[in-house]
Structure 1
Amino acid sequence: MITMALVAVLPAGAADTLLSQGRPATASSSENVAFPASAAVDGNAGTRWSSAFADPQWIQVDLGVSASINRVELSWEAAYATAFQVQASANGTTWTTLHSTTTGAGGNQSLTVSGAGRYVRVLGTQRSTQYGYSLWEFKVYGPGGGDGGGDRLLSYNKPGVASSSQHDGNCWECTPARAFDLDPASRWATSAWSDPGWIYVDLGATAQISKVVLQWDPAYARSFQIQTSPDANTWSTVYTTTTGTGFKQTLSVSGTGRYVRMYGTQRSGAYGYSLWEFQVYGTGGNPTDPPAPPKDPANPPALVWSDEFNGSSGSKPDAAKWRADPGTGPNNELEYYTNHDNASMDGQGNLVMEARKQATAGSACPPDPLTGSTTCQYTSARMNTGTKFHFTYGRVEARVKVPKGNGFWPAFWMMGADFLTGRPWPYNGEVDIMEILGKDVKTSYSTVHAPAYNGGGGIGGPYTLPNGADYSDDFHVWAANWDSKGIVYTLDGRTVFTLSKDQVEQTRGPWIFDHPFYLILNLAIGGDWPGPPNAATPFPSRMLVDYVRVYQ
């Protein structure tokens, strides 16, 4: 809903390391090709492994190297194990039992264990049904921050040094530290737009380096080397390319050193070099564990917050859940948002957000295209859950009926909660679940905005109702299913747009949506995108909201 631009810096995220995701998995059997062992370790809560209908059965994952194991999470389908063991092995042959039960209850289980091994398996010895065993998710965790395979993230919050750093209105405090803070919305950039340009990190002690992850800004390196050094003076090259692609690059390397450097020798364009993230993985060093990442929603998710708007006619929004957001809107909008004067219950289970042709004394809006007045000629409603309810991940949905008429811009959306503490848009992140223009009520939009893609460059798309129906004719349910893998937008239960975190990082820029957000409802009038009302625009007009719900 916001469409501006700026620059800023701030937080990040991990204590236990998820070791199993995407690693090779095998099983004693699979019910059929639709339910392979790999589906239990792919991080997708909608895919699963299922076994043959017999006892015993097992599934195991190869972590790549021996690792300490302190937790196993199992998300069972209805065909769960009553009796099973969690076991670890150094060679995939000799097994040590870390957990055993004969009273398994299925559902989502988080098991605290203690052990080590390269292979971890679940061995089922008694089924709960006549069917086999079936797991939506099989996750193995170990202590410390990392990215799977037993390697740890070594570079988090470690000191960085660079050939130069930018610090101006275009890139505020774009220092080397920003590349190592695990904050995908802050970055390092060179102030010198020349070759070569470089940045290195001090891991604190000698380390064996196995992987480097670079998330480039559009100012990326066409030619560069990854180098290691024991003393930051003598460098050994462990990776080199002259065909750098920018965006996210995950590089398998093998080297030893206390210092790791990206040394750029040819820029991709006229600007310098810039990295949102420079992550180094391996063993050794003196790593600092990053904060724990947020947990994905349960499968199926449970209702954690809602407003059904069942108050009496004329009653105001629940102050424990919503706060008014009075004032003029952004984007050259023409309305003045009142302090809930334009928001109330209708006594029939709906929130009414009413747009009125009503001048507001003392307000300062852009000049009205019809009258030229800078006094706001319209009032409307905007409210949010900021300071009341923030959350990370879940299914977010609202049942809404939108108004029709030139100039109307109803929206249901989310803003990153750090916006409330000073991080400017779009560095806090914005998730638009529903936007409709009153001049075209047959088209709805769902979009995300971030530093590398915002405003007209936001990632999303338009979609329509079957048979070209009009959104203003009835209520519809807009939802965003949001987790660590991305966002799936649905309309009335039908998927309309899918955003993959991995794909966005590979093709558009950093994904900045893994932190708390809050909810916003508003009915804007005018602005850069919808244009102004005209003589035929009906006033007053209403946006009706039947409910808003969040599941986790």
Structure 2
Amino acid sequence: MRRTSRLLAAATAAAALVTGALIATPAQAAPTPLSQGKPVTTSSSEFDWSNGTRAVDGDPGTRWSSGWADDQWISVDLGSVQQIGGVTLDWEAAYASGYRIEVSDDGAAWSTVYSTTSSTGGDENLAVTGTGRHVRLTATQRATQYGVSLWEFQVFGTTVTPPTGDGTLLSYKKPATSSTQQHDGNCWECGPDKAFDLDPASRWATSPDTGWTDNGWIAVDLGATAHITSVVLQWDPAYATGYDLQVSDNGSTWRTVHSTTTGKGFKETVPLDADGRHVRLQLNKRSGAYGYSLWEFQVYGTGGAPTAPPAEPADPDFDNLRLVWSDEFNGAANTPADTAKWKIDAGVPQNGEEQYYTPSGNGFHDGNGNFVLEARKQTYEGRTYTSHRMNTAGKFHAQYGRFEARVKVPEGRGLWPAFWMMGTDFLEGRPWPYNGEVDIMEFIGQDPTHSFSTLHAPAYNGAGGYGGSYTLPDGSKLSAGFHTWAAEWDSKGIRYFLDDREVFYAEKSVVESTRGPWIYDHEFYLILNLAVGGAWPGPPDASTPFPSRYVVDYVRVYQ
């Protein structure tokens, strides 16, 4: 497929911070600053020609200058999660004697990684380490009566690679034990083995039966002596702020090889240099009122007696794709969907919706190369409205690739068309949202200029799903014509597109470090539906047109 230029999507990044110190040259400086040419915001600009972009343009003859007040700031958006290795400030004569360097995961909540009250201006090269997307300089004290002014504000470093552990995965499917385990309606069969199964939607949790306490543990037997190089912990919200990592030769005498009192939860990768057959996470301090819970506890290194996990498919080359499945909907007028490709979902709705999905009649070819999902105001099986839903369950499943549909969405209060995917383990009995849901396109009929793309998982779902909304560049109605929605999905994340313009990027490493487990590395199937009413759009009203049509030109999958 031919690719067009892409816009950088908004994404969230966690900040892991370490206070820096003043040195002669930037630590881990890259040849080109990460900040060069990136979007900038400022508290103020003294002149139009001295705006914030002048400080990140790589031209030492242009500058940013602020209004004449303290607490002025300049912030650069690096665009994605970055490893920050240094910050260079090239001050004009109007410098700040006091300032902070801050980082943020979302551009709203800031943490300080460097501060001073004794700057003398000139060229300053700061060793500022940590990870984050946004970097801000806040001038707390001016050195002159004017504002503050920078020729250059440069951020150095390298892109963070998703932490996957160092060495061979040694702990997969190995015997596990724990101090307690939960088994009730809130966490069914949450035994210690669930932390070592490479299933990010299953977890271990301590039992509430005897009261949640700070002391607890979970351990794994690697099967033979190993050299352990790292441990990866993917926490549920019930994480430990204080814990020790311990090793043992016999499972009874333990040696502490790592200790912390500042655990942050989400995904933590701990480098180690230790030897032993058994590895134990000794839990000392809870982050909240509950016990402890881990989605994954992975041990990496050499030796041991590792069991090889199932091989994952290769990532697609999105610049060189081939069509592997499609429906062009070229059937004769009024004929139903091709049963070799689609299964019709008939029955009562979900999410408080008001329609009944009929087994036939509401979905049909129009004879012009389109398929129509039609919502009607008619009484059927005790419901006031009927509509259509169909999926590829048992017909076509896939992991990774480009999933694309060209559609025309209907406008009207209470109408809710969607193009989405469900994890195939749902068909085997795993309940939502543990199977994973990928919403490529959702549209609310009373808001015709916006579309939504969202991920749902155990740790983030429903109204708390991970996603974003977006519009056409000119803000016009999406319901006015056909548009193409697509998702490009690989082992690193999912990029969402509207008319081949990137509108959102769900990056795996960002989701794991800020929201919870990434549960999408397995097969999914496709779904098309048109709902009426429901918790999100609310009910239709007298202005809602019936019948309303969700028209699909094609659905295509490339790998």
Query: TM-score, normalization: structure 1?
Result: 0.71
Q: Which residue of 1 aligns with 2:114?
A: none
1 CA distance for matches of 2:444 and 2:279? 50
CA contact (8 A) 1:294 1:515 kept: no
In terms of mean alpha carbon deviation, does 382-391 or 298-307 score higher?
A: 298-307
Q: Which residue of 2 aligns with 1:26?
A: none
Are 2:355 and 1:348 aligned? no
Secondary structure (helix, strand or coil) at the match of 2:379 reads coil
CA contact (8 A) 2:327 2:555 kept: yes
Q: Which residue of 2 aligns with 1:543?
A: 550
CA contact (8 A) 2:201 2:458 kept: yes
Structure 2 residue aligned with 1:491, among 498, 511, 517? 498
CA contact (8 A) 1:207 1:256 kept: yes
Structure 2 counterparts to residues 200-219 of structure 1, below 5 A: 200-219=219-238
Structure 1 residue aligned with 2:218, among 177, 185, 199? 199
Q: Which residue of 1 aligns with 2:82?
A: none
Structure 2 residue aligned with 1:405, among 412, 420, 429? 412
Shift of 1:340: 3.0
Q: Deviations over 1:455-500 (max 9, x none)?
A: 0110001101122201111000000000000000000011100010
Which amino acid counterpart does residue 357 of structure 2 have in structure 1? Y
Q: Which residue of 1 aligns with 2:461?
A: 454
Secondary structure (helix, strand or coil) at the match of 2:449 reads strand
Are 2:291 and 1:265 aligned? no
Q: Which residue of 2 aligns with 1:279?
A: 298
Secondary structure (helix, strand or coil) at the match of 1:352 reads strand
Q: Deviations over 1:517-552 (max 9, x none)?
A: 000000000000010011111111101000000000
Are 2:540 and 1:522 aligned? no
Are 2:397 and 1:390 aligned? yes
CA contact (8 A) 2:228 2:300 kept: yes
Q: Deviations over 1:418-437 (max 9, x none)?
A: 10110000000000000011
Which amino acid counterpart does residue 156 of structure 1 have in structure 2? Y
Structure 2 residue aligned with 1:154, among 170, 185, 198? 170
CA contact (8 A) 1:390 1:518 kept: yes
Which amino acid counterpart does residue 200 of structure 1 have in structure 2? A
Secondary structure (helix, strand or coil) at the match of 2:278 reads strand
Q: Which residue of 2 aligns with 1:227?
A: 246
Structure 2 counterparts to residues 318-357 of structure 1, below 5 A: 318-357=338-377
Structure 2 counterparts to residues 70-85 of structure 1, below 5 A: none
2 CA distance for matches of 1:226 and 1:430? 34
2 CA distance for matches of 1:462 and 1:292? 34
Shift of 1:234: 1.0
1 CA distance for matches of 2:235 and 2:475? 41
CA contact (8 A) 2:165 2:232 kept: no
CA contact (8 A) 1:412 1:435 kept: yes
Which amino acid counterpart does residue 479 of structure 1 have in structure 2? A
2 CA distance for matches of 1:297 and 1:328? 37
Q: Which residue of 1 aligns with 2:260?
A: 241
Secondary structure (helix, strand or coil) at the match of 1:419 reads helix
Which amino acid counterpart does residue 379 of structure 2 have in structure 1? A
2 CA distance for matches of 1:244 and 1:449? 26
Moved over 3 A (4+): 146-149
| Aligned alpha-carbon RMSD (Å) | 1.4
Which amino acid counterpart does residue 550 of structure 2 have in structure 1? M
2 CA distance for matches of 1:148 and 1:443? 40
Secondary structure (helix, strand or coil) at the match of 2:448 reads strand
Q: Which residue of 2 aligns with 1:93?
A: none
- Report the count of equivalent residues: 396
Which amino acid counterpart does residue 409 of structure 1 have in structure 2? W
Q: Which residue of 2 aligns with 1:82?
A: none
1 CA distance for matches of 2:294 and 2:312? 21
Q: Which residue of 1 aligns with 2:46?
A: none
Which amino acid counterpart does residue 367 of structure 2 have in structure 1? G
Unaligned segments of structure 1, at least 5 residues: 1-31, 35-145, 364-374
Q: Which residue of 1 aligns with 2:334?
A: 314
Are 2:198 and 1:182 aligned? yes
Are 2:421 and 1:414 aligned? yes
Structure 1 residue aligned with 2:386, among 379, 389, 393? 379
Kindly, what percent of the aligned residue pairs are identical?
65
Q: Which residue of 1 aligns with 2:431?
A: 424
CA contact (8 A) 1:415 1:430 kept: yes
